[in-house]
Amino acid sequence: MTAALVDVYLMGERVLERLMAGIALVQPNLAADFTIMPEVDKGAKAFFTRFYQRRKEIKAAEPKQAIAIALSCVPSWTDAYYFLGAIEDIDTVQAAGEIEQDLITMRGERKGIAWIEKSYLMRIIAKEMQVKV
């Protein structure tokens, strides 16, 4: 295994974090119930830091006002472009129910792979396999 596998998982996490932020822009009342924080995408991290600070206000607002509040949390229009692009052709209501579990799973897999690479476990296994072949 190489560090490239960890990089693939990081890219996957980034995609999921942008998807999570895109959902928050169009379904802020659903996203106000999210409990995890992005770790990889800097724009998503900044967005959710602001978004979570206004969570009560978002939950109490009418749908259009909640969207306006969510938009005010976006750090830049470039980030908004990435967030909205991530939800293109996606059922955001269904995705809102699954995104946190998907992100937790991806994060756990990435950290597990990074641990394996750092622990040299794969080298030990490879060495053992060469001896038995």
Q: What percent of the chain has pLDDT above 90?
A: 74
Identify which has the larger pLDDT, 5 or 132.
5
Q: Which pLDDT does position 1 carry in this prediction?
A: 47
φ/ψ (deg, to 5) at 99: -60, -40
pTM to 2 decimal places = 0.84
Residue 3 is predicted with a pLDDT of: 57
State the pLDDT confidence band at 64, using cuts at 50, 70 and 90.
very high
Compute the distance between CA of residue 133 and CA of residue 96 in angstroms, rounded to an integer.
Answer: 48
**What is the average per-residue pLDDT within 90-104?**
93
With 70 as the cut, is the pLDDT of residue 45 above it? yes
**Cβ-contact 72, 45 below 8 angstroms:** no
Distance CA 43, CA 118 (A): 28
Per residue in 109-127, pLDDT (tens digit) is 989 888 877 777 777 877 7
Assess contact for 67 and 28: CB atoms under 8 A: yes
Asked whether 28 and 20 are in contact (CB, 8 A), the reply is no
Distance, in Å, from the CA atom of 91 to the CA atom of 40, rounded to the nearest integer, reads: 24
pLDDT band at residue 2, thresholds of 50, 70 and 90? Answer: low
Per-domain residue ranges for the chain? Answer: 3-132
The chain-wide mean pLDDT, for the chain, equals: 90
The DSSP result for 51-97, as a single string, is HHHTHHHHHHS-HHHHHHHHHHT-S-HHHHHHHHHHTTT--HHHHHH
pLDDT of residue 16: 96
Could you tell me the pLDDT band of residue 130, with boundaries at 50, 70 and 90? confident
